[in-house]
Amino acid sequence: MTALAINALCKSFGGLRVTSNVNLSVEPGERRLIIGPNGAGKTTLFNLITGELSPDSGSIELFGNDITKVASRKRTHLGMARTYQIITLFARETILHNVSLALLGLSPLRWSFFGNLDRQHHIVESAREALAHVGLEGIAARPLAQTSYGERRRVEIAMALAQKPKLLLLDEPFAGLSIDERRDVQQLLKRIPRDVSIVMIEHNMDVALDFAEKVTLLHFGEVIVEGTRSDVVNDPRTKEVYLGH
């Protein structure tokens, strides 16, 4: 059974084909990289996978279950987590509260009109654990507004990991990071256990290629090349796609 199976997925906006008959399948535990020039439709594909966009045709399966018509928030409950290209965290709260909110999203406690989120021990402990995984447990009480960009990226990853996803979607996790910060995130990603399948969109080839076992190249919404790192790097079509810009 595949972790993620996308079949003949199509999406158009008006006359513009943004996703064109995409077939993709990710094995459990795999590290997949999706690359492509700007406007290739990578983020759109993510939005289709998470359900924020609905496809015109085609299907999406998560561990064998057809989720094409499932609402996006329910996909989270089915084990999907995602980070965003532009960081959208809760600036008015502390780092710990941010991660707690991520945990609360999957908990029936989120409908409780009584008690206090910051005093729910099991949630707070799990949040601290998630922050420890990304090396930020020391500044858990700091307001998010007082953190650096690199720290926020790691908070975002902590929030995604806190939900114990089976499929993790990372949209340009290295964007805007310094060399040191990139290395930290790289290490972090390497430590993620194999019961999590990861699909990453990335522009920065050096870090990304190191991470990926299999690479999919998208252009104008279509899958152009797919294969191992060296397959894709050496394929003439890849050069065409990138040099054509």
Partner 1 sequence: MSGRAPRLAAIGVAIVLLLTLPAWVANSYYVNVASQILLWAVAALALNVLVGYGGLVSLGHAALFGTAGYTAALLLQAGHGHFVADFAAIGFTLLVSAIFAILSLRSTGITFLMITLALGQILWGIAYRWASLTQGDNGVNVTTRPHLFGISLATADAFYYAVLAAFALAVISMAIFVNSPFGASLRGTRDQPRRMNALGYNVWLIRFLAFLFSGFWTGVAGLLFVYYNQFISPQIMALQTSAEILLMVISGGTATLLGPIAGAAIVVIMKNVASAYIERWNLVLGVIFVLIISFMPDGLIPGTTRIWRYGWQALRARIASARSVRRAGAS
Q: Which parts of this chain interact with partner 1 (CB under 8 A)?
A: 50, 52, 72-74, 76-77, 82, 84, 88-92, 97, 100-102, 104-106, 109-117, 120, 159, 163
The minimum distance between CB 212 and partner 1, in angstroms, equals 24
Residue at token pair 């008690």: 115
Say if CB 20 and CB 10 are below 8 A apart. Answer: yes
**For partner 1, which is the closer residue by CB, 92 or 245?**
92
The minimum distance between CB 235 and partner 1, in angstroms, equals 34
**For partner 1, which is the closer residue by CB, 14 or 111?**
111
**For partner 1, which is the closer residue by CB, 64 or 111?**
111
The minimum distance between CB 21 and partner 1, in angstroms, equals 26
Single-letter code of the amino acid located at 47:
N
Cβ neighbours around 215 below 10 Å, total = 24
The minimum distance between CB 110 and partner 1, in angstroms, equals 5
Q: Give the whole-angstrom CA distance, residue 209 versus residue 184.
A: 16
**For partner 1, which is the closer residue by CB, 19 or 163?**
163
Say if CB 60 and CB 37 are below 8 A apart. Answer: no
The minimum distance between CB 236 and partner 1, in angstroms, equals 38
State CA 215 to chain mean position distance: 15
Say if CB 81 and CB 165 are below 8 A apart. Answer: yes
Distances from the Cα of 124 to the Cαs of 94, 102, 146, in angstroms? 12, 11, 21
**For partner 1, which is the closer residue by CB, 170 or 212?**
170
